[in-house]
Chains A and B, each alone.
Chain A
């Protein structure tokens, strides 16, 4: 039967070729190019040649990298705490049978499906200090009296970025947690019930330990994603006020496309790549240990 058939090796290479070549062109070559650019002194359209690691030391000595990392960590920490806690509460609530559960579960997916850029545009309008719906709602509820400008105060600005991010991405943690909850066999709960565990003890001693792997997966996925987030910052805050929301990805954008210091931008970009790679290696290690 194999006489007329194309050989397995040939077919395999052939079918892999387009994907392989495209990845080569849009991922491998560019990242090597970034590494090269990060060693060049490029300002504007002038390239003054090789400078070794000076771009890296420059952004560290000027404190730019630390500021960007600080903002990124703050943003990451905020979104992850909110999305893990709220995600767990909502997932638990949706795991109980009630009338309309199917509908609410479908509804949860909707914010996730909307592009981040459109989410940001929408919320940027709602959060307007002068005529935004969100502020109006706070006023109607009696929570705020005077005009409130979210994007003039560093703390409020990053808080709002975290809030908008969570409005969209809590969907993901909810979905992952529901999948995890459904995988816990009923017999485990029955055993806990026989032992006389109350609901809180059940959650603390049965559900949470069994959900640990799922929680970790959600945690790492969200962390990588948050480190790469650009759209939200660009549309909502442009990195301000001060350095408060200038996360690493936005800082790279500014250096490269606003100040046209491609060398420094590339250095920061390569550092972002290394950070993501580190997180991923930890992730793969963890997955292996699970097996």
Chain B
């Protein structure tokens, strides 16, 4: 099994699906000859040609709208947003056309919109956004947020095969910082199903429920607290839609204490939904209030000290987890 980065895993997933399914193609700004701003589609045009790796004009709404039409006409497009932030321009196409078409006439829209998500890379207010909550409210879109290279690969392959529109939030900070041996290959590469959370670390005193970039931070916190005799369970949600309620509720009923962590800002973030589900369906099991650690409710500032102030850091999670453990 080759060791690869999260970014290489994303490229491998697209490559492998394109090898076995000629309906699959990529489109977006600079994705063709250049292979994308980050190299996620590198050499796909050389391998599969200009009709399956399409350089488009700078037109995010147009890109997503064209992808919706191509999906309905029998292709399986993967539309790349150069940065997740720019999907705001395509918001209408996603919620108006992609999300509601099947509900209205039973016509599937098998589409993936890849969104390079998140901060920590000095991107400033327009190259750092976490966009998952923008779409979470709206019925009809699946939302995937991988935390590891294997999940990036396996979830992307599942997303491409899914008959629904999928917003694939891949975290830029993880692109080259996360490495793993990944079982790839057009026919025998690993598939990770959408809608199944991962219990990445078992524990008995406290559950940290998280996804994407903060999974690694939660694991580090769990290591620290283990030395303080606190046993932390870490749940990686993997996909927000579908949301694996059962895995979350099972964990909370076991530990009785919950810390929800995400890099997205606090208010209106996915954590609020997780907290509501726990409050309703696991209330009798709770030994402490449900806590959340998330980013500030501000735009994402550029300068490194300001950005650090904005982001939820390991020490923020550790402090909240300690408080909760002592409650």
Bound together: no
